[in-house]
Chains A and B, each alone.
Chain A
Amino acid sequence: MERALLLSPRQSSRQTGGEWDRLYIGHEFCERLLPSDQEIESLVKDRSLPDKRSLVTPYVTQAGLERVQALVRRFVEKEPIFDEVIINDWGVFRAIREHGGRRVLGRLLVRQLRDPRLVDVDCGAQELPGLSISDDFIRVIRDVFGISRIEMDTTPAELAAVSKELHVSLYRPFTYVTTTRLCPIANLDGKPAGISLVADRCNFECVDHAYELRNELMGRTLYLYGNTIFYRNEEEGLPPLGPDRLVIQQLP
């Protein structure tokens, strides 16, 4: 199985040791954490890191989309540092189709059942946990859109069936639950000014601040990293069949 390390460049100081086949650079959830050109160049120069690389892109506003397009034009089309783009926004999917590189459907566009309470609810083994993408959806993305790889973070009963149709990457050790542009961590060090969208008040507090969230109704501990809530999924283990790539997130 291919092993990929997911790095957001602002976290590049974290440990990268280990045997890696591929490097994922970027961010799935926040356009403000898209890497700069200099950050990408710096990571590319690091010979200890693998030379197969995927650019990870988030859901984006128009401004974020323009940044993604610039990165793709330079680092996928002109100086091919990345051979793949991980896509979590249908606008990005459409915008970069002329620029080369494999387009991979990121986990935000692969609708799994991820409510952390579901795994503890007795509602029939055939129901949950599961996948909210249908055979029809798989046919559309594969046959109409030309996608050959999708990304997941839980292991539904249908995984073996899905992996006959598409290549599957599996994220460990975190399943994402939900995300927001009303970032709760942005401006944490500033005055209590109420809610705000990220763009106005963010000082990248998420680089140094991360939190555990506990509520007995959840059944498991949640983790808040920046604008996104996760839970740990290692106890699901690795399925014997299905994914051919493991993506390891390094979060505090």
Chain B
Amino acid sequence: MKILSAVNSVDEYQALADAGADELYCGIYHMGDVSHGNRALNRREGLSFCLNGEEEFAALNEKAQRDHRPVFVAINSFYSTEALNKVKRQIAALLPLSPHGFIVADIAVLRFIRQSGFAGKISISVGGTVFNAQAARFYQELTADRIILPRHLTLREMDTFADLGLELEVLVLEDRCLFIDGFCNFHHSLPGKSTNILHDNKFLARTIFPRLLAKLNYGSIRQTLPRWLGGKADRFRRVCAYHYKISSLGAAETKAEQIDKLQLALSDHTHVETCGLCRLAEFEERGIGYIKIANRGKLTSHKVQTIALARAAVTELMKRGAPEDFTACIREHYRRIYGHPCGRAHCYYPND
């Protein structure tokens, strides 16, 4: 089973490789490029999340090819004509650098890549919303090689993808969102905001911002922020985790405790430290050969820890020990990295 990690600078390549990442994925960003409210063309804005142009990709890919470590380029949003023209220019600039593969969601992009003569791997992003075997076949007929299964599938529902002749990948660590990526219209970062300087300034983007993000996502600030700021805490939260004033519209009366439950359901299920590593054996049974860590924009040290967690899980799986021992071992590794035990709220597969 192969482990995929995000990479957003050539400087962190060796640390991620040493930690045990088998494959890498990245986005490419061009400073000052504003397009369609989605500046980086790959759903994550700025140098915190992306490589700095094709030059940095070339430097990264040279190292990766030397080590036979595949690198995928994410071009995984949906595009207007204007944005697609930028995408096409980016692809044309990348093809001579021989990327191992692309991660896409827009079928116009998929077709352009193949029509450009690229014979490498094409992965269908979670944005491709492949919830059933016919959808997988649809993309297979468009020459996709790999499907990244959407987050909101149970293990039982994944049975349907076995024996299709496609590589299968699942998200297994970090950043579960309440909403379905491929159908969600919330922007992670709005254009025209003052955070633009944060995205374009290399020092701020790669040193300050990830540390700030770590404090907000994992540190004590996450717990204390609502106490300090009350309703204004949402300014520091992901849009998909906003808190709302909720009032009932329907025919049935809604009790106060049901409103509280609804509030929790809407805002508290977008967790960063989510994990599905206990399910590796079940993934293997279903022919899933690739596990992905959703760690774009995180500190290199954190990326290393999450890769190490995934690597420990794969190593334990290979020992073929008793399932309960495997689970206990993974949970202990999780606790060491995240500083607390895992629970249902942190589970990528809570229904299974």
Give A39 Cβ to nearest chain B Cβ, in Å.
19
Which residues of the partner chain A approach B133 to less than 8 Å between Cβ atoms? 62, 65, 91
Judge whether B152 is part of the interface by a CB distance below 8 angstroms.
Answer: yes
| A182 CB contact (under 8 Å) in B80, B157, B261, B269 | B269
A178→B131 contact, CB < 8 A: no
Judge whether B345 is part of the interface by a CB distance below 8 angstroms.
Answer: yes
A64→B37 contact, CB < 8 A: no
Chain A binding surface, main DSSP class: loop
Judge whether B183 is part of the interface by a CB distance below 8 angstroms.
Answer: yes
Give A226 Cβ to nearest chain B Cβ, in Å.
10
Binds B, one of A41-49, A76-84, A124-132: A124-132
B79→A132 contact, CB < 8 A: yes
A215→B243 contact, CB < 8 A: yes
Which residues of the partner chain A approach B319 to less than 8 Å between Cβ atoms? none
A132→B78 contact, CB < 8 A: yes
Judge whether B215 is part of the interface by a CB distance below 8 angstroms.
Answer: no
How many interface contacts (CB-CB < 8 Å) are there between A and B? 223
B37→A89 contact, CB < 8 A: no
Judge whether A75 is part of the interface by a CB distance below 8 angstroms.
Answer: no
Name the interface residues of B124-151: CB closer than 8 Å to any CB of A. 128-139, 141
Judge whether A213 is part of the interface by a CB distance below 8 angstroms.
Answer: yes
Residue in B closest to A126 when the chains form the complex, CB atoms: B82
A62→B160 contact, CB < 8 A: yes
Binds B, one of A2-10, A15-23, A106-114, A239-247: A106-114
Judge whether A166 is part of the interface by a CB distance below 8 angstroms.
Answer: no
Give A159 Cβ to nearest chain B Cβ, in Å.
13
Which residues of the partner chain B approach A111 to less than 8 Å between Cβ atoms? 78, 106
Interface 0/1 of B70-89, CB less than 8 Å to A: 00000001111101100000
Which residues of the partner chain A approach B320 to less than 8 Å between Cβ atoms? none
Which residues of the partner chain B approach A215 to less than 8 Å between Cβ atoms? 234, 242-245
Which residues of the partner chain A approach B153 to less than 8 Å between Cβ atoms? 61
Give A211 Cβ to nearest chain B Cβ, in Å.
5
Interface 0/1 of B107-139, CB less than 8 Å to A: 110011000000000000000111111111111
A134→B186 contact, CB < 8 A: no
Which residues of the partner chain A approach B192 to less than 8 Å between Cβ atoms? 121-123
Q: With A117-B190, A179-B183, A212-B249 as given contacts, are A140 and B178 in contact (CB-CB < 8 Å)?
A: no
Can you give 9 A-B contacts (C-beta < 8 A)? A130-B36, A135-B84, A179-B180, A182-B269, A195-B269, A197-B154, A212-B248, A222-B244, A223-B249
> Which residue numbers of A lie inside 8 Å of B, CB to CB?
59-65, 89-95, 108, 111-115, 117-118, 121-124, 127-128, 130-137, 140, 158, 176-182, 184-185, 188-189, 192, 194-197, 199-200, 208-218, 222-224, 252
16 other contacts beyond A95-B134, A131-B80, A211-B262, with CB at 8 A cut-off? A61-B157, A61-B160, A89-B132, A94-B134, A128-B36, A132-B77, A134-B84, A134-B106, A176-B185, A178-B183, A178-B184, A184-B265, A195-B345, A212-B249, A213-B244, A223-B249
